[in-house]
Structure 1
Amino acid sequence: MEHTLNTRVLLVDDEEEFLSVLANRLEARDLKVSTATRGEEAVAIVDQKDFDAIILDMAMPGMDGLETLQKIKEKHPDAEIIILTGHGSIKAGVEAMKLGAEDFLEKPVDIRELMEKIQDAKEKRVLILQKKSQEEIEKILKSKSW
């Protein structure tokens, strides 16, 4: 897959063995992967660092995936979040999408499908950042009296 170089991904899942295996599989595909095992930890990491995609488990003790999604989106509305769950339901998926999730995948996840979703999220994020930069340039140009 092209354009994966420098793709920054945050994986959030309370199942540490799954988290480790998935992180290794993504790193083997040249992604830069950070991990968190709790929703609170994920929110703190996202406050410190930018990611092209956040892969978030739905069912976690404490702050669950939906609450974590809400907290991240409050401060970082442009965050591209993909929900992963082993306990998928249509209702939960719809709720996640309403709250701003980019996509919803069930475990066990197909690595090719996940890579496609990550690439889509990165491309969308790049477009959003380009648009913001263009708007900022236009704002600066308008504010100057040439």
Structure 2
Amino acid sequence: MEKMKIMLVDDEERYLQTTRKLIEKTGIETLTALNGNQALEILETRTVHVVILDVKMPGMDGNETLKAIKARYPLVEVIMLTGHATLDSAIDGLKSGANDYLVKPADIDEIIEKAKAAFEKNQLQEQKIRAAQTKRYMRSPREILKNDDE
């Protein structure tokens, strides 16, 4: 099974670095981005399974970034990170395809737990896609025998 890779996206650099270090202590590879545009650039070149995305950021906010991620990388799971004042925005994010949301300051164990659940969903989706692709290219023994008899 593939190892989970997370990306944290938040405009607060100190929060990013502290959270990244705490998550990486558990053995989870963690990338960081200071804004939505940087997150999209990273997604172009790196495999990321779960994005933990702050709702309130200057420039491209979290909901705009979420929509761009889902449009370009629909299998990437996104968890919205919000302060109490932006809870409605996080709920809007859920309607736009976010997997879940966390309220700041989020406990590291809670972040990891939600990320693992999102990763499992990601892996299940990828498994279903692989099975469908395999089924399209594979023939059953009955089909092979039937075609050989003709």
TM over 0.5: yes
| Aligned residue identity for 2:136 | K
For residue 23 of structure 2, the aligned residue among 21, 26, 40 is 26
2:96 corresponds to 1:84: no
Structure 1: runs of 5+ lacking an equivalent: none
**CA displacement, residues 18-53 of structure 1 (integer Å, 9 cap, x when unaligned):** 000000000011110111001001011112222121
For residue 61 of structure 2, the aligned residue among 53, 61, 64 is 64
Deviation larger for 38-47 or 21-30: 38-47
Kept after mapping to 1: 8 A contact 2:82/2:104:
yes
- State the partner residue of 2:148: none
SS at structure 2 position matched to 1:51: coil
For residue 104 of structure 2, the aligned residue among 107, 132, 146 is 107
Alignment partners' CA distance in 2, 1:23 and 1:81: 16
Structure 2: runs of 5+ lacking an equivalent: 145-150
Instruction: Give 1:90 deviation, angstroms.
Output: 4.0
- State the partner residue of 2:49: 52
Count, aligned residues = 141
% identical aligned pairs: 37
Alignment partners' CA distance in 1, 2:101 and 2:85: 9
Assess, with a 3 A threshold, how the Cα gap between structure 1 residues 8 and 50 changes in structure 2: closer, same or farther.
same
Compare the two structures and name the one with the higher helix fraction: 2
Alignment partners' CA distance in 1, 2:115 and 2:89: 20
Kept after mapping to 2: 8 A contact 1:52/1:79:
yes
Alignment partners' CA distance in 2, 1:138 and 1:88: 48
| Aligned residue identity for 2:55 | M
Alignment partners' CA distance in 1, 2:101 and 2:122: 17
Assess, with a 3 A threshold, how the Cα gap between structure 1 residues 90 and 13 changes in structure 2: closer, same or farther.
closer
Structure of larger gyration radius: 2
- State the partner residue of 1:15: 12
RMSD: 1.7
Instruction: Give 1:63 deviation, angstroms.
Output: 0.4
Could you list the runs of 4 or more consecutive aligned residues of structure 1 that deviate by over 4 angstroms after TM superposition? none
| Aligned residue identity for 1:72 | I
